Amino acid sequence: MTSTESQAAIPYSCLRPHRSEFITLRGLRHHLLRWDAQEPKASAKEPPLVLLHGWMDVGASFQFMVDALHADPQRQIYAIDWRGFGLSASSGADTYWFPDYLGDLDALLDLLSPSAPVDLLGHSMGGNVVMTYAALRPQRIRRLINLEGFGLPEARAEQAPDRLLEWLDQLKAPQSLKSYPSQAAVAARLMKTNPRLSQAKASWLAGHWARPAEDGSWHILGDPVHKHSNPVLYRKDEIVAGWARIQAPLLWVEGACTNLSAWWGDRYPRADFEARLSVVPRVERRVLADAGHMLHHDQPEALAAELEKFLR
């Protein structure tokens, strides 16, 4: 047996399995993942840790990081699948709007911790959501963690007509996501996108990232409508005005192998991001070696260690 076959034969075993529940947020059914405190009577001493995933991801994506949080057995941890992702219901609309994520998060915290602040973590798109939310509801956040929620390149006003036209055309063309012949094929797709992901973790993730259909093919758990262009331009100045209002201490974490120019070319220079982050009043920064954008997959133990230090 080769080393690759040996690795594939050993399934990933969760050290701290999550429980799945379904809740209603703003009239829409959402999937909630709950990692219970190992000492429930003591759990009230620690604020809940709420985890929010990125675009085309799911809440279960944080499982490896949660398993590595050895020093925090008394903390209650939650994650949701955003609307239209994972096991949460699709919105039923033909466009997903960024403010809806803020509304869903506000309703979630009303449910999970109505009278006390939480520790809030977001990855990628989720990181952008938590930054804006922390600016709007500072009293709800004790500690804030952003995993590579860089934001987007500044949009220019002259882009608006073409963007609206692109959106109108997309509304007439049904969107779809690629299907796969098996769970193993889904795992292979995840590993192709992220070569640092082990076979065992990829196979485990595949079972949460996709589901089999009646014909045996596996389909990604995401509403294809998420692929539509956003008809509303991204306005950097509006985002920066919010980031400047953040009161909670912020932990910014990125992977050493992440390259902004690979995504955006020269449309979003690193200096632009540094200028944005500089307006946040209190920031601690960490860079994880041998990690890319999916740093909670690439280096869950190193990330968990940084979280434990920051949250203490």
* Structure confidence by residue, pLDDT tens digits, 151-178: 999 999 999 999 999 999 999 988 899 9
Which residues lie below 8 Å from residue 309, measured CB to CB, with a gap of 6+? none
For the chain, helix (H) and strand (E) counts, in that order, are: 12, 11
Residue ranges of the domains in the chain? 14-155+229-311
Question: How much is the pLDDT for 40?
Answer: 58
Residue ranges of the chain whose pLDDT lies below 70: 1-9, 39-44, 71-73
Question: How much is the pLDDT for 5?
Answer: 45
Question: How much is the pLDDT for 309?
Answer: 96
Question: How much is the pLDDT for 264?
Answer: 93
- One CATH from 1.10.3470.10, 1.10.150.120, 2.60.120.460, 3.40.50.1820 for 14-155+229-311: 3.40.50.1820
Question: How much is the pLDDT for 10?
Answer: 81
Which residues lie below 8 Å from residue 74, measured CB to CB, with a gap of 6+? 37, 38, 39, 42, 43, 45, 46
pTM of the complete model = 0.94
3-state secondary structure of 19: strand
